[in-house]
């Protein structure tokens, strides 16, 4: 398994939203998000779901790709909608519930205190991600789903700051670049 720390900085920032379900959104999608697509094959699905959920090994088939895309689309629509103050749509709710109805990953505690999963499959991983999305969208944190304020970003994140006024997905990148641009405009 490739860890998040081993990813290039540009890829690593996609997976810092604060929730695994939102990290799935950042693997690409349809329409405007197609340019960010990184899941084309079962091997890609294995790699990126393993990164998002920190799995050592994942069994995935080409036939799992439509289920991933359906779930990712539902989470994408719901999250961007909630960030814009819109209610959840019935079509997205149905897709989330369908994916969550599958058996989820089964955690196992290892002797060294780490967690692994018993025979992880793509469908179980997608169910786990759907359950994470349901938990997020049904919680008070749903009101804290944000879209990065940087003009050239648009990544989702959960604002867990105490005042609830976080604007950027990452202060190290987007926040800093925005502040540098503003400073240069004034000098």
Domain ranges of the chain: 4-186
Architecture of the CATH domain 4-186: Orthogonal Bundle (1.10)
Residue 42 clears pLDDT 70, i.e. is over it: yes
Tell me how many degrees the CA angle 93-98-104 measures, rounded to the nearest 5.
115
Per-residue confidence at 56, pLDDT binned at 50, 70, 90? confident
Question: Residues 29-55, buried b or exposed e (16+ Cβ, 10 A)?
Answer: beeebeeeeebeebebbbbbbbbbbeb
Distance (Å, whole) CA 2 – CA 75: 24
Give the residue, 160 or 172, on which the prediction is more confident. Answer: 160
Which of 64, 71, 87 is CA-nearest to residue 24? Answer: 71
Give the residue, 152 or 120, on which the prediction is more confident. Answer: 120
What confidence score (pLDDT) does residue 174 get? Answer: 80
When mean pLDDT is compared across 76-80, 142-146, 181-185, the lowest value belongs to 181-185
Query: What phi and psi values does residue 59 have, to the nearest 5 degrees?
Result: -90, 115
Averaged pLDDT score across all residues of the chain: 90
Q: What is the mean pLDDT of residues 120-148?
A: 97
């Amino acid at each position: 398994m490739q860890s998040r720390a081993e990813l290039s900085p540009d890829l690593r920032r996609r997976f810092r939203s604060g929730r695994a379900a939102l990290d799935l959104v950042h693997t690409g999608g349809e329409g405007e998000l197609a340019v960010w697509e990184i899941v084309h094959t079962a091997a890609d699905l294995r790699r990126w779901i393993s990164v998002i959920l920190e799995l050592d090994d994942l069994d995935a088939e080409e036939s799992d790709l439509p289920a991933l895309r359906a779930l990712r689309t539902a989470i994408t629509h719901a999250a961007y909608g909630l960030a814009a103050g819109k209610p959840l749509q019935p079509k997205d709710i149905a897709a989330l519930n369908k994916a969550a109805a599958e058996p989820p990953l089964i955690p196992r505690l290892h002797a060294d205190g780490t967690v692994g999963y018993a025979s992880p499959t793509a469908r179980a991983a997608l169910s786990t991600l759907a359950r994470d999305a349901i938990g997020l969208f049904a919680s008070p944190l749903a009101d804290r789903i944000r879209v990065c304020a940087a003009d050239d970003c648009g990544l989702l994140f959960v604002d867990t700051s105490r005042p609830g006024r976080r604007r950027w997905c990452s202060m190290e990148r987007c926040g800093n670049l925005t502040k540098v641009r503003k400073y240069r405009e004034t000098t």
